[in-house]
Amino acid sequence: MSEILRARRVGETFVLDDSKNGNPRIVPVHPRIRSIQMKPVSKITIQHSFKESARAQGLGHFHFHDLRHSAASEMINQGVDLYTVGGVLGHKDSRSTQRYAQLATESLAAAIMKIGKKAA
């Protein structure tokens, strides 16, 4: 969350001059977020709003950091390679990205079905 609070919105990107890994980075803004007018907000406000929203959806044990896991898993399940996912998350080492990657059962089943098939 600290990176989000420090990020600057520049056009269709978020710019983070000082990230966790020590390198500056630029992250494209998802189209659903582009139209939202960004206002300064405190960490406590974000935490409270997130907790209330999670509770309202029946996700009492869902934490803000779980969004990183969900986003990484979704990108990987949509075929985005680990190197690119790591870039979005700001990881220097792919081993960090692998911790976040949770493949869906359907993806694993599809991979198993490819065994023994000839490439087109």
Residue 82 Cα to chain centre, angstroms:
12
Query: Which pLDDT tens digit goes with each residue over 5-53?
Result: 888 888 888 888 877 777 788 888 888 887 777 777 888 998 999 899 9
pLDDT at 2: 76
Distances 108 to 16, 66, 94 between C-alpha atoms, Å:
35, 22, 20
Distance (Å, whole) CA 61 – CA 54:
8
Q: Tell me the mean pLDDT in the region 64-75.
A: 87
- At 77, the pLDDT band (50, 70, 90 cuts) reads confident
Rounded to two decimals, the pTM is 0.67
